[in-house]
A and B are shown apart, each in its own frame.
Chain A
Amino acid sequence: MLSETFAFGDSAIHRLDPRLRVVFAGLLSILTAILNRFPAVIFAVFLALVLIGASRLPVRQVLARLAVVNGLVLFIWLILPWTFEGTPVVEIGPLVGSWEGIRLCALITLKSNAIILALIALVATMPVATLGYALHHLHLPDKLVYLLLMTYRYIFVIETEYQQLARAARIRCFKPGTNLHTYKTYAYMVGMLFVRASARAQRVHQAMVCRGFSGKFYCLHEFAFKSSDWAWSSAMGISLIVLGGLEWAPIV
């Protein structure tokens, strides 16, 4: 369900302080999302590609993940150019494609790919648990951090329970079809999953209480900011400034 294929490695990016990676990924994504000029957006894509290169992830698998995002982007290309008001450039029957629509589509495509690539390089390269502790050290509220960590822990248990239910149905010759029986069966399964998840949440809480839990979480993990982290953070800072400059510097 969650394979964390990219989480373990020994590249320069994998060795970076997770806090730095999370902060930079956040800033870069936000900045990229509000860009409007092509040189800036292209620079953002370039930055993302540099990060992917430095993380030494298998290209094929990264492309496979990009395909998912670009599947959605494809729908934007199918709709937006024909519905966006502006200077007409193409005409197919009653459909008129506008220059502004095409420009917007291109921007969205580049931006979303840049953000996803940056997140893959910076955030997918750490285990979910590490991400949780990094967020904890960045002073995200405890409740949110532990919500993330426990979701991660129990998503596998819930998946196993779903598999059990699905198997139980299959061994009694259940074949999904387009009929009320199928809908009902799936509704029961989902309902049963909710019931089990809530019962489990209660038992987990009881087990925690038995071990002295009183609402406060403690974190075992400490991160150390190394000299290489300082070098990377300056490079990251400069690249963000360049990105901002490309977007907001007055055109001469």
Chain B
Amino acid sequence: MGADRLVIDLENISFAYPDGRDVLSGLSFKLDKGARAGLIGPNGSGKTTLLHMIMGLIPPSEGAIRLFGREMRSEKDFHESRKNIGLVFQNPDDQLFSPTVLEDVAFGPLNLGASPEEARDIAVKTLKDLHLTGFEDRISYRLSGGEKKLVALATVLAMNPAVLVMDEPTTGLDEKTNDRIVSILNTLDKTLLIVSHEYNFLARTTDDFYGIRDGQIFYAGESATLHTHYHAHAAGEVPHKHI
């Protein structure tokens, strides 16, 4: 596979919290165009840190970040790359800051240079695609948790990024909303990187999954092998393969 197919290429990334604790140490990770990858790891293992690093929100202490074949050096580089990589935050209340849904969904397109009319059209269409028609004038803080999550997804999809990155997309959601997100993700023709604790969710949305441990990422297998164990099982606690 040629280097031009790589959308995310992290090389030897290290990062320590301000208190000196190492989170990532010498981490390398590559993601191809069109790949659908899941990322599993214990709490505090640096998954969110990693996603924020890909978005350029926090700089690594060491190592190189290449996105779409370009080395990212400055905020200006990331400002460009964010047009093509969308991050859905774990908590939709962090993402939805506008008074109404329509304004929030139109925010990204406006930043990309769309005129107010174009942004409005894009927002209306995106909401329609996610079966959220009628939500335009709803007040964001009055939405339910599931609705907030779907709208947060809409705010990112409205920018039509080539890569969709999601941080724990299913936390606190009911089965129905969960299913809706799965079906939305499965109709998207985008490169996916999803951080989740839910094996079943990753099995339904991704092709491969990775683990993160001791500050490093490792390939853990095909997502189809992922499942939750409800029975006693020697390996029930950790991702594993049945042979």
Residues of A whose CB lies within 8 Å of any CB of B are 127-129, 132, 149-150, 152-154, 156-157, 200, 203-204, 206-214, 216, 218-220, 222
Shortest Cβ distance from A16 into chain B, in angstroms?
20
Contact among A157, A200, A210, A211 with B57 in the assembled complex (CB-CB below 8 Å): A210
Stretch at the interface among B25-33, B60-68, B104-112, B208-216: B104-112
Kindly list chain B residues whose C-beta atoms are within 8 Å of the C-beta of A152: 99
Q: A220-B103, A220-B119 are in contact. Are A207 and B97 (CB under 8 A)?
A: yes
Complex contact A203–B89 (CB within 8 A):
yes
What are the 8 A-B residue pairs with the smallest beta carbon separation, nearest first? A212-B111, A129-B99, A218-B110, A211-B108, A203-B94, A207-B95, A156-B141, A210-B87
Q: A214-B79, A220-B120, A222-B116 are in contact. Are A208 and B89 (CB under 8 A)?
A: no
Whether a CB of chain A sits under 8 angstroms from the CB of B153 is no
Task: Map CB proximity to A onto B63-86 as digits: 1 under 8 Å, 0 otherwise.
Answer: 000000000000000010011001
Whether a CB of chain A sits under 8 angstroms from the CB of B206 is no
Whether a CB of chain A sits under 8 angstroms from the CB of B195 is no
Whether a CB of chain A sits under 8 angstroms from the CB of B140 is yes
Whether a CB of chain A sits under 8 angstroms from the CB of B179 is no
Kindly list chain B residues whose C-beta atoms are within 8 Å of the C-beta of A128: 99
Whether a CB of chain A sits under 8 angstroms from the CB of B150 is no
Complex contact B102–A208 (CB within 8 A):
no
Kindly list chain A residues whose C-beta atoms are within 8 Å of the C-beta of B79: 212, 214
Q: A153-B140, A157-B141, A220-B106 are in contact. Are A210 and B97 (CB under 8 A)?
A: no
Complex contact A212–B108 (CB within 8 A):
yes
**Main SS of the interface on chain B?**
helix
Candidate in B79, B86, B94 with the most chain A CB atoms within 10 angstroms = B94
Kindly list chain B residues whose C-beta atoms are within 8 Å of the C-beta of A220: 102-103, 106, 110, 116, 119-120
Kindly list chain B residues whose C-beta atoms are within 8 Å of the C-beta of A207: 87, 89, 94-95, 97
Interface size class of B (residues with CB under 8 A): 20 to 34
* Residues of chain B from 15 to 67 with CB closer than 8 A to chain A in the complex: 52, 55, 57
Whether a CB of chain A sits under 8 angstroms from the CB of B155 is yes
Whether a CB of chain A sits under 8 angstroms from the CB of B91 is yes
Kindly list chain B residues whose C-beta atoms are within 8 Å of the C-beta of A150: 97
Shortest Cβ distance from A220 into chain B, in angstroms?
5
Contact among A153, A209, A211, A219 with B156 in the assembled complex (CB-CB below 8 Å): A211
Q: A156-B141, A203-B91, A211-B111 are in contact. Are A219 and B99 (CB under 8 A)?
A: no
Shortest Cβ distance from B90 into chain A, in angstroms?
9
Q: Could you tell me the distance between the alpha carbons of A34 and B83 in the complex, rounded to whole angstroms?
A: 53
**Given A149-B99, A212-B83, 20 new contacts (CB under 8 A):** A129-B100, A132-B99, A153-B97, A153-B99, A153-B140, A154-B97, A157-B93, A200-B93, A204-B94, A206-B94, A207-B89, A207-B94, A207-B97, A211-B82, A211-B111, A213-B107, A214-B79, A218-B111, A220-B102, A220-B110
Kindly list chain B residues whose C-beta atoms are within 8 Å of the C-beta of A213: 107, 111
Complex contact A209–B116 (CB within 8 A):
no
Q: Could you tell me the distance between the alpha carbons of A129 and B141 in the complex, rounded to whole angstroms?
A: 13
Whether a CB of chain A sits under 8 angstroms from the CB of B183 is no
Q: Could you tell me the distance between the alpha carbons of A245 and B38 in the complex, rounded to whole angstroms?
A: 74
Q: Could you tell me the distance between the alpha carbons of A24 and B92 in the complex, rounded to whole angstroms?
A: 38
Q: A206-B52, A207-B89 are in contact. Are A214 and B100 (CB under 8 A)?
A: no
Shortest Cβ distance from B125 into chain A, in angstroms?
15
Complex contact B141–A210 (CB within 8 A):
no
Q: Name the CB-closest residue of B to A155.
A: B141
Q: Could you tell me the distance between the alpha carbons of A149 and B98 in the complex, rounded to whole angstroms?
A: 7
Kindly list chain B residues whose C-beta atoms are within 8 Å of the C-beta of A153: 97-99, 140-141
Q: Could you tell me the distance between the alpha carbons of A218 and B113 in the complex, rounded to whole angstroms?
A: 10
Q: Could you tell me the distance between the alpha carbons of A210 and B95 in the complex, rounded to whole angstroms?
A: 10
* Residues of chain B from 140 to 169 with CB closer than 8 A to chain A in the complex: 140-141, 155-156, 159
Q: Could you tell me the distance between the alpha carbons of A157 and B145 in the complex, rounded to whole angstroms?
A: 13
Q: Could you tell me the distance between the alpha carbons of A220 and B107 in the complex, rounded to whole angstroms?
A: 9
Shortest Cβ distance from A125 into chain B, in angstroms?
17
Complex contact A209–B52 (CB within 8 A):
no
Shortest Cβ distance from B138 into chain A, in angstroms?
12
Shortest Cβ distance from B52 into chain A, in angstroms?
7
Q: A129-B99, A218-B116, A220-B120 are in contact. Are A210 and B82 (CB under 8 A)?
A: yes
